[in-house]
Amino acid sequence: MTVLVTGGAGFIGSHLAEAFLEDGREVVVIDPLDPYYDTDIKRRNIDRCRSVGGDRYEFVDGSITDEALVRDLVSSRDVEYVFHQAAQAGVRTSVENPKKPHEINTTGLLNLLLAAEEAGVERFVNASSSSVYGEMEYLPYDEDHQNVPQSPYGVTKLTAEHYCRVWTDVYDVPTVSLRYFTVYGPRMRPNMAITNFTSRCLNGEPPVIYGDGQQTRDFTYVDDIVEANRSLLETDAADGEAMNVGSTGNITIEELAEHIVEETGADVDLEYAEAKEADARHTHADVSKATDLIGYEPTTTIREGVSRFVDWYRENRDWYEPLVLNS
Ligand SMILES: NC(=O)c1ccc[n+]([C@@H]2O[C@H](COP(=O)([O-])OP(=O)(O)OC[C@H]3O[C@@H](n4cnc5c(N)ncnc54)[C@H](O)[C@@H]3O)[C@@H](O)[C@H]2O)c1
């Protein structure tokens, strides 16, 4: 049984590919190594998966926007499960360049759904995002909360969810959308608060908080995300559904910075800079739907996760930090 992980050279996709390879599955990854951040991070992710999976791992250097390639890949490799992680991620980036996320996150997704339908895949799991909620009415967000995305990225993610639901209802492709809430962990994307704060603290520089630091986030450790996806190989519940996959609780950005200062032992004060408009003020997930439907139970608290990330960063600092600073 072959599992296709799109965007599998990226942060979350490579963790999924590695986990499926560890489970003994055949994994094929499609990723064009988009230079959104230093591609050497992605090359290392591929090398790591290859070392875990050997012949059971195949990397295809290509784009999901190439319809013929996607169709051929899904049918010729006997793909039974698709874990779709490929995207132009980033809220702020999408405000600056809205066409690219549209092409990848929406048109690319459509190519995959058409190919999945043609090949009769068992299940299509779509990586969605808390950005589909946008304007906040109440917290924590449950799936009945309104969807008023505040960025082109959020619009593409919500559109993708609707396509998935329709491909279940109309075309009989079993799909599930998992709404990730800010994911972090080893090999994470550069230019996110946890990476920036950690690299600054380890270099004796103060972490820079945009705004007053009272904005809150639900930071989800990548292992919890892997478990949510993995459970979808074992159950056929939740067809056509979208659900939150968040953490054990949310914290302010200021508290996060304080944890990282503490964990790194840096002798620095926090620094504040002007807020960035596109960012949501608060995110917090109610995960009860995912608990009911797929047994999702996040286990890693932000303190444990930050501590693990800082340990990993120290161990891998020689190669990771220059690539992070270069991105
Ligand atoms: N990291 C988070 O906090 C977070 C939160 C919510 C949702 N998500 C979603 O999770 C998924 C994975 O995010 P990530 O953090 O691992 O990001 P990432 O940028 O590390 O991974 C995305 C991968 O997709 C690849 N990609 C880009 N264009 C492609 C194309 N045309 N065809 C195939 N692959 C392409 C990139 O090269 C990259 O390796 C994305 O769908 C993202 O929107 C992430």
Tens-digit pLDDT profile for residues 104-129: 999 999 999 999 999 999 999 999 99
The total domain count for the chain is 1
Mean pLDDT, residues 229-244: 94
CATH code at position 145 = 3.40.50.720
Phi, psi of 294 (to 5 degrees): -125, 10
Residue with CA nearest ligand 1 atom 32:
63
Q: Is the CB of 11 under 6 A from ligand 1?
A: yes
Q: Which atom of ligand 1 approaches the CA of 105 most closely? A: 41
Query: Which one of 28, 48, 85, 188 would you pick to mutate in the ligand 1 pocket, going by the greatest count of ligand atoms within 8 A of its CB?
Result: 85
Contact between residue 290 and residue 245 where contact means Cβ atoms under 8 Å apart? yes
SS (H, E, C) 136-159: CCCCCECCCCCCECCCHHHHHHHH
Q: Is the CB of 226 under 6 A from ligand 1?
A: no
Contact between residue 181 and residue 9 where contact means Cβ atoms under 8 Å apart? no
- Distances in Å between the alpha carbon of 143 and those of 60, 84, 284, 307? 35, 21, 12, 31
Mean pLDDT, residues 1-17: 97
Q: Is the CB of 222 under 6 A from ligand 1?
A: no
The pLDDT score that the predictor gives to residue 262 is 97
Contacts of residue 265, defined as CB under 8 A and 6 or more positions apart, other chains included, come to none
Q: Is the CB of 102 under 6 A from ligand 1?
A: no
Q: What is the span of the domain harbouring residue 212? A: 2-325
CA of 16 to the centre of ligand 1 (A): 12
Does residue 13 surpass a pLDDT of 90?
Answer: yes
Average pLDDT, the chain: 96
User: How do 216-217 and 123-129 pair as beta strands?
Assistant: unpaired
Token match 């003020």: residue?
Answer: 281
Q: Which of 153, 180, 184, 313 is catalytic?
A: 153
Burial of 83 (0-12, 13-18, 19+ CB in 10 A): buried
Residue with CA nearest ligand 1 atom 18:
10
* CA–CA separation, 115 and 97 (whole Å): 28
69-73, 152-156, 177-181, 232-236 — which is least confidently predicted? Answer: 232-236
Q: Is the CB of 73 under 6 A from ligand 1?
A: no
The pLDDT score that the predictor gives to residue 248 is 84
pLDDT tens digit sequence for 199-228: 999 999 999 999 999 999 999 999 999 999
CA of 322 to the centre of ligand 1 (A): 21
CB half-sphere exposure, 195, CA atoms < 13 A? 23
DSSP category for residue 106: I
Q: How far is CA 123 from the centre of its chain?
A: 19
Q: Which atom of ligand 1 approaches the CA of 39 most closely? A: 37
Q: Is the CB of 90 under 6 A from ligand 1?
A: no
pLDDT band at 276 (very low <50, low <70, confident <90, very high): confident
pLDDT tens digit sequence for 44-88: 999 999 999 999 999 999 999 999 999 999 999 999 999 999 999
* CA–CA separation, 90 and 253 (whole Å): 18
User: How do 123-129 and 79-84 pair as beta strands?
Assistant: parallel
Verify whether residue 138 is a known catalytic residue. Answer: no
Q: How far is CA 249 from the centre of its chain?
A: 18
CA of 71 to the centre of ligand 1 (A): 20
CA of 5 to the centre of ligand 1 (A): 11
The pLDDT score that the predictor gives to residue 267 is 97
CA of 31 to the centre of ligand 1 (A): 10
Q: Is the CB of 108 under 6 A from ligand 1?
A: yes
Does residue 28 surpass a pLDDT of 90?
Answer: yes
pLDDT band at 236 (very low <50, low <70, confident <90, very high): confident
3-state secondary structure of 47: helix
3-state secondary structure of 99: helix
